[in-house]
């Protein structure tokens, strides 16, 4: 090992980077380091091929089968099929094999086709031409042949072929603009910066002569994080070390804009690029319905095993009597008789398992997946949830949680950009205790003319002008705003007074508002050019400041700073941030006056920032540079080391003043929160803002009401009392009124009830979550939760991103295990969005990180009302009915098989023909329930919007509780008893013919095993289908077509199956059975009578419940029948009525609901119903109102 290598190791160890092995070293242009530098160690990296496909031609079948049989249901039916092949079972292997083959084949074809499309896209991407530098010349080759270390040239409007470190560009300042719409959906231009020591290399020869190595972290998927450093070798013995961050990284998939060309070196290629790493999906979330469905499956599996066990025992009890053996049609061979008793019992047990296995619905999982996938389009196609201002509509990132939208009990919402517009307007500033407002907003009116200042309090004293200008310069310099170039703007930009006007771009609307506000006060930020920030002062003179350092903002510090140097050589550190992070670091200034103004503005709902500064000597700055450089070049724990460095630098400040910015409440945010509270949902606001500002917003959006008693659990109060005393005092307060609060806590029906609102800040939350000194860490949490449960609303202010996730997790894991929803618009909301059961991102102005990491995305907060109260309500109702119906119809199907064994000596004789066993679930009864689960609407959309309290009827998984599950199961058992014994007793008066068949004395109809089974099966198919018809609350011609078409299909199939001698069958046991059955008058009577008797209990139950114990939903359904459209006893939302947005007429229908299937709008003929034009339609049949 040479001296250079030893020196590098010692340097890394001394820098605290003993874990540096987690990094990689890249040799730019594959050039070895100069002699005496770090030893050259060749490294192996993947090529640049992107492989998004899962399968190859060779592994498709085995891999796909393995993945499909990992599902419990598929594996279960595979075992049943194998059992049928191995032992002598009463049913053909086809009865289990064909449905399983159908499910597996359909899924494999779908997945294979999708993977083939991915292969095509991968090949097109991997074969794209790329220009790279080789021996000082440009060479063109395919993208897949790129290697780590290659130097690539990318031209304007081209996409970066891999992840590159930005070396240089055609721009003189070493910058370039890119768009990352294909990565994170953001279409705005982002500025990236070349490495300082390479930005002057503009030709291929210059770049080819570069000697450098790059050390960076191993590949990881975070698009917005990158840590590395570059060592540039020159004639000197020691290399120049420069830090590398995300601003130097050009990501694969991004597109170069407004820059002629750039050069970069490949550091991550192929499947190691950040784009490829983001192909991996987030952790899977499971809905409450899915969990209930799995529990029900386990219950039915236990029922199946019990049935098989009971029949096995009873068989041997039956055969223990003399002269009782296997029936003549099921005689055993001598070798089978001589088998061990346990082996015979096991064989019989497995045979009964096969006979009864259809109680487990094979097609339910496929139907549920189809319902979720197709149903998710109802959200994306909803025109009412489309925002014309932004041109954005709702997004569904996962369809697995559709029904969970109907079960939400807690909503955790961000404030800025979610409840508010994130459209900031500069209102005023306070400098040394004196308040200034710009002319443009004086007295609340927009005034034309030049920029200026109005003093709204006492005149400042001597030296005020100098402090004013220093404050304005601080606002002009302390930011990361970019100024849009002239070639990016359509036409010249001039201010109304003819002066200079700039177009500012920033990821933070606050920064833009402050810079635009100070522009109206006489100081204009012009641009950053060649490392100098230029501002235009009041006298129209241009001032230049060299930008030395930027101490970037982060949500933990809640502040940012810049270090600049004036032309005269003075060095300043300007710092701005939240008052809680600035005031503790201030040693001079009029703190009391400014604090009073900040608190007053916060109470009025304005966003406040404080501004401070300090002068630095050259020695101070040199020490800061050394401190920052050591932190910036660190590969391990760089963020932690930078934070420690910032803490040391940002202290001993002089307070200059504060700013106030208004962020208006979003349209209908208050109405949305009010509706959600009436729906029984608790709404919590989690924000990083100060308490007064957040509380004012909560009052504005009616989260807190006039009669709400606010309880504070804040750092200020904890300074006066201990946490223990405060918590117990709050607990006594809320529990004293808990009796009245639980009556109707969130309905909003009465303003007389005492309700509470809790306010807690981040510091107090940390104390609550911290284990107690006596080791009983959970006590304070439980007490805190008890207080929260009895509060109508909770405001959490001064929250760090991880604290937001902690709050969500705390509620999610509480003893009630409520369903939680988190909604936010910024990167600081991602942690709570991922933690909640349902995460919703608002497509806002602070990027798309929240929308990318969410389960659903909406343009505005107001759209949450319809997503939950309408879409969520329908999704839950539909899939709950689907699950219960599947189990019900399979109980109806299998219980007669169980009863039949008591009449055939437990011989495992099947009651139904093989064709009926095979097609019952996949053909005869599958399509009606799928259509029902997509289109059913038990009440209208307008009713759900006007009556949010209906959401409570389905809360806490109401339709999949054990009581409802047992009802559906017992209903299936009752219907099965009616099918079986009704057919049995109706044909009891029979005689036996010489060939063993049974003939009725009055009709001479042959009545054997298959006729009896066919009769039971026919009654069953008609009953389960007509039950679904009874449960349908809205009809279109599609419903009629599917329901009556399914019954017609069964009749036609049975006629063909029994009316033709099929040559591929070894036996013709069903020949003429169905036709002969229908030719009998008693058979018709039996079918009609038994179907009526089977449906009667369900009809009586519905009638009695509606009359004696009606739910809110049933009361509304009843009032609609009587011509009313609302419940008198329920308080309506104060919103105007509007025609249904889903007024898509699919044909004549009843008045029991409104059609709601948007996909059919473009596929089927839309026409008017007969009669006068309905509300929202013109006389010619065209929709005049909004429609989906």
Identify the H or E element spanning 661: strand 653-665
Short-list 45, 11, 240, 287, CA closest to 147: 45
Tell whether 862 is in a known binding site.
Answer: no
Short-list 164, 307, 303, 310, CA closest to 246: 164
Tell whether 415 is in a known binding site.
Answer: yes
Strand pairing class (228-232; 137-142):
unpaired
Short-list 445, 968, 413, 489, CA closest to 703: 413
SS3 category, 115? helix
Tell whether 725 is in a known binding site.
Answer: no
Identify the H or E element spanning 673: helix 669-678
Distance, in Å, from the CA atom of 921 to the CA atom of 364, rounded to the nearest integer, reads: 9
Short-list 938, 974, 773, 941, CA closest to 867: 941
Q: Round to the nearest angstrom and report the end-to-end CA distance of the chain.
A: 72
122 catalytic? Reply is no
Tell whether 576 is in a known binding site.
Answer: yes
Tell whether 486 is in a known binding site.
Answer: no
Tell whether 414 is in a known binding site.
Answer: yes
SS (H, E, C) 134-157: ECCEEEEEEHHHCCCCCEEEEECC
Identify the H or E element spanning 1055: helix 1037-1059
User: Who's near 1144: CB < 8 A, 6+ residues apart?
Assistant: 1155, 1156, 1157, 1158, 1160, 1161, 1166, 1187, 1188
Q: Assign residue 1005 a region: left if phi > 0, alpha if psi is -120 to 50, beta otherwise? A: beta
Angle at 922 between CA 918 and CA 928, to 5 degrees: 140
Tell whether 607 is in a known binding site.
Answer: yes
Asked if residue 8 lies in contact with residue 36, where contact means CB atoms within 8 angstroms, the answer is no
Q: Classify the C-alpha dihedral 66-71-72-73 as positive or negative.
A: negative
Greatest alpha-carbon pair distance for the chain in Å reads 126
Alpha-carbon distances of 845 from 393, 505, 508, 860, rounded to whole Å: 15, 11, 8, 11
Give percent helix, percent strand, percent coil of the chain, each to the nearest 5: 45, 20, 35
Distance, in Å, from the CA atom of 906 to the CA atom of 937, rounded to the nearest integer, reads: 45
SS (H, E, C) 411-436: EEECCCCCCEEEEEEEEEEEECCEEE
Angle at 73 between CA 69 and CA 79, to 5 degrees: 70
Asked if residue 830 lies in contact with residue 165, where contact means CB atoms within 8 angstroms, the answer is no
Distance, in Å, from the CA atom of 528 to the CA atom of 506, rounded to the nearest integer, reads: 14
Angle at 368 between CA 366 and CA 373, to 5 degrees: 95
Tell whether 500 is in a known binding site.
Answer: no
Short-list 570, 716, 598, CA closest to 656: 598
Measured in residues, the chain has a length of 1188
Tell whether 565 is in a known binding site.
Answer: no
Asked if residue 210 lies in contact with residue 199, where contact means CB atoms within 8 angstroms, the answer is no
CA 760 to chain centroid, in Å, comes to: 27
Tell whether 688 is in a known binding site.
Answer: yes
Tell whether 47 is in a known binding site.
Answer: no
Tell whether 663 is in a known binding site.
Answer: no
Q: Assign residue 194 a region: left if phi > 0, alpha if psi is -120 to 50, beta otherwise? A: beta
Distance, in Å, from the CA atom of 852 to the CA atom of 1021, rounded to the nearest integer, reads: 46
Q: Which of 150, 184, 382, 414 is catalytic?
A: 414
Tell whether 865 is in a known binding site.
Answer: no
Tell whether 511 is in a known binding site.
Answer: yes
Strand pairing class (175-180; 586-588):
unpaired
Q: Assign residue 391 a region: left if phi > 0, alpha if psi is -120 to 50, beta otherwise? A: left
Distance, in Å, from the CA atom of 248 to the CA atom of 193, rounded to the nearest integer, reads: 5
User: Who's near 465: CB < 8 A, 6+ residues apart?
Assistant: none
Tell whether 416 is in a known binding site.
Answer: yes
Q: Which residues are annotated as a binding site?
A: 414-416, 511, 553, 576, 607, 687-689, 798, 804, 825, 828-829
Annotated binding site for ATP: 414-416, 511, 553, 576, 607, 687-689, 798, 804, 828-829
The binding site for Mg(2+) comprises: 414, 416, 825, 829
Residues with catalytic roles: 414
């Amino acid at each position: 090992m040479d001296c250079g290598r030893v020196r590098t190791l010692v340097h890394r160890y001394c820098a605290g980077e003993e874990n540096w092995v987690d990094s990689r070293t890249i040799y730019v242009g594959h050039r070895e380091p100069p002699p005496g530098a770090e030893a050259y160690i060749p490294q192996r990296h993947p090529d640049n091929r992107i492989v998004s496909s899962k399968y190859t031609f060779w592994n498709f079948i085995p891999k796909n089968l393995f993945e499909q049989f990992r599902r419990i249901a598929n594996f279960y039916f595979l075992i049943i099929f194998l059992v049928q092949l191995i032992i002598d079972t009463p049913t053909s292997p086809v009865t289990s094999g064909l449905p399983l083959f159908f499910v597996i084949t359909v899924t494999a074809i779908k997945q294979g086709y999708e993977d083939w499309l991915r292969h095509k896209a991968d090949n097109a991407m991997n074969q794209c031409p790329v220009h790279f530098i080789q021996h000082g010349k440009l060479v063109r080759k395919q993208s897949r042949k790129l290697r780590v270390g290659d130097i690539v040239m990318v031209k304007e409007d081209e996409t970066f072929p891999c992840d590159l470190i930005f070396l240089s560009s055609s721009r003189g300042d070493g910058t370039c603009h890119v768009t990352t719409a294909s990565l994170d959906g953001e279409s705005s231009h982002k500025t990236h910066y070349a490495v300082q020591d390479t930005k002057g290399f503009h030709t291929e020869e210059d770049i080819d002569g570069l000697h450098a190595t790059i050390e960076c972290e191993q590949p990881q998927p975070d698009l917005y994080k990158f840590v590395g450093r570059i060592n540039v070798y020159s004639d000197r013995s020691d290399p120049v070390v420069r830090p590398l961050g995300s601003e130097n990284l050009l990501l694969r998939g991004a597109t170069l804009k407004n820059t002629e060309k750039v050069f970069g070196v490949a550091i991550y290629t192929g499947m190691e690029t950040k784009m490829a790493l983001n192909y991996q999906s987030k952790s899977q979330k499971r809905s409450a319905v899915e969990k209930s469905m799995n529990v029900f499956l386990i219950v039915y599996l236990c029922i199946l095993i019990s049935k098989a066990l009971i029949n096995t025992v009873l068989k041997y009890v039956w055969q223990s009597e003399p002269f009782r053996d296997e029936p003549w049609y099921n005689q055993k061979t001598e070798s089978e008789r001589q088998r061990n008793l346990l082996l015979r019992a096991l064989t019989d047990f497995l045979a009964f398992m096969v006979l009864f296995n259809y109680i487990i619905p094979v097609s339910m999982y496929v139907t549920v997946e189809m319902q979720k996938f197709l149903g998710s389009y109802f959200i994306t196609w909803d025109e009412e949830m489309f925002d014309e201002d932004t041109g954005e509509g709702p997004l569904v990132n996962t369809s697995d949680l559709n029904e969970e939208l109907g079960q939400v009990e807690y909503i955790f919402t961000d404030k800025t950009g979610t409840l508010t517009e994130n459209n900031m307007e500069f209102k005023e500033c306070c400098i040394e205790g004196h308040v200034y407002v710009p002319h443009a907003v004086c007295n609340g009116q927009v005034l034309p003319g030049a920029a200026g200042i109005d003093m709204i309090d006492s005149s400042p004293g001597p030296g005020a002008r100098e402090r004013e200008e220093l404050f304005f310069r601080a606002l002009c310099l302390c930011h990361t705003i970019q100024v849009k170039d002239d070639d990016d703007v359509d036409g010249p930009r001039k201010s109304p007074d003819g002066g200079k006007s700039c177009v500012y771009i920033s990821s933070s609307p606050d920064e833009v508002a402050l810079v635009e506000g100070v522009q109206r006060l006489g100081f204009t930020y012009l641009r950053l050019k060649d490392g100098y920030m230029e501002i235009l002062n009041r006298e129209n003179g241009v001032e230049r400041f060299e930008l030395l350092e930027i101490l970037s903002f982060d949500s933990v510090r809640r502040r940012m700073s810049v270090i600049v140097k004036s032309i005269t050589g003075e060095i300043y550190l300007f710092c701005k941030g939240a008052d809680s992070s600035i005031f503790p670091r201030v040693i001079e200034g009029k703190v009391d006056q400014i604090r009073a103004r900040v608190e007053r503005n916060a109470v009025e709902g304005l966003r406040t920032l404080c501004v401070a500064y300090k002068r630095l000597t050259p020695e101070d700055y040199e020490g800061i540079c050394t401190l920052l450089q050591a932190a910036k070049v660190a590969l391990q724990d760089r963020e932690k080391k930078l934070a420690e460095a910032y803490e040391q630098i940002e202290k001993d400040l002089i307070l200059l003043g504060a700013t106030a910015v208004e962020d208006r409440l979003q349209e209908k945010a208050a109405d949305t929160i009010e509706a959600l509270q009436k729906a029984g949902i608790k709404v919590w606001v989690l924000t990083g803002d100060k308490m007064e500002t957040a509380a004012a917003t909560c009052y504005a959006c009616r989260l807190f009401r006039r009669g709400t008693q606010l309880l504070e659990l804040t750092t200020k109060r904890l300074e006066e009392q201990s946490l223990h005393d405060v918590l117990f005092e709050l607990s006594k307060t809320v529990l004293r009124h808990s009796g009245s609060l639980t009556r109707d806590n969130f309905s909003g029906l009465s303003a007389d009830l005492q309700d509470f609102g809790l306010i807690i800040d981040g510091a107090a939350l940390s104390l609550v979550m911290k284990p107690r000194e006596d080791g009983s860490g959970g006590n304070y949490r439980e007490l805190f939760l008890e207080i929260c449960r009895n509060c109508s609303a909770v405001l959490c202010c001064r929250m760090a991103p991880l604290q937001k996730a902690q709050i969500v997790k705390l509620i999610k894991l509480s003893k009630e295990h409520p369903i939680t929803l988190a909604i936010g618009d910024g990167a600081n909301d991602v942690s709570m969005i991922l933690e909640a059961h349902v995460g919703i991102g608002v497509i806002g102005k602070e990027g798309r990180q929240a929308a990318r990491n969410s389960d659903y995305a909406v343009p505005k907060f107001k759209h949450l009302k319809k997503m939950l109260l309408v879409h969520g309500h329908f999704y839950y109702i539909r899939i709950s009915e689907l699950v219960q119906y599947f189990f019900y119809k399979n109980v109806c199907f299998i219980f007669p098989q169980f009863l039949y064994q008591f009449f055939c000596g437990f011989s495992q004789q099947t009651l139904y023909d093989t064709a009926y066993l095979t097609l019952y679930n996949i053909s005869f009864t599958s399509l009606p329930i799928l259509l029902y689960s997509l289109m059913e609407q038990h009440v209208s959309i307008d009713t759900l919007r006007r009556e949010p309290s209906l959401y409570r009827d389905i809360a806490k998984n109401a339709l999949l509780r054990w009581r409802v599950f047992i009802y559906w199961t017992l209903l299936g058992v009752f219907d099965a008893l009616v099918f079986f014994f009704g057919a049995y007793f109706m044909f009891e008066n029979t005689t036996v013919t010489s060939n063993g068949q049974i003939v009725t004395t009055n009709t001479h109809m042959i009545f054997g095993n298959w006729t009896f089974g066919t009769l039971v099966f026919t009654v069953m198919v008609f009953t389960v289908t007509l039950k679904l018809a009874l449960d349908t609350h809205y009809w279109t011609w599609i419903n009629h077509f599917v329901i009556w078409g399914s019954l017609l299909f069964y009749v036609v199939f049975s006629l063909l199956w029994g009316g033709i001698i099929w040559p591929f069958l070894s036996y013709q046991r069903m020949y003429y059975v169905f036709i002969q059955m229908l030719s009998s008058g008693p058979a018709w009577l039996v079918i009609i009578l038994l179907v009526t008797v089977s449906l009667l209990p369900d009809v009586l139950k519905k009638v009695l419940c509606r009359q004696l114990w009606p739910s809110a939903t049933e009361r509304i359904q009843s009032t609609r029948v009587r011509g009313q459209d609302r419940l008198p006893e329920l308080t309506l939302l104060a919103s105007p009525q509007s025609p249904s947005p889903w007024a898509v007429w699919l044909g004549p229908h009843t008045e029991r609901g409104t059609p709601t299937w948007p996909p059919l709008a473009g596929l089927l003929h839309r026409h008017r119903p007969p009669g006068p034009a309905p509300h929202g339609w013109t006389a010619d049949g065209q929709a005049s109102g909004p429609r989906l």
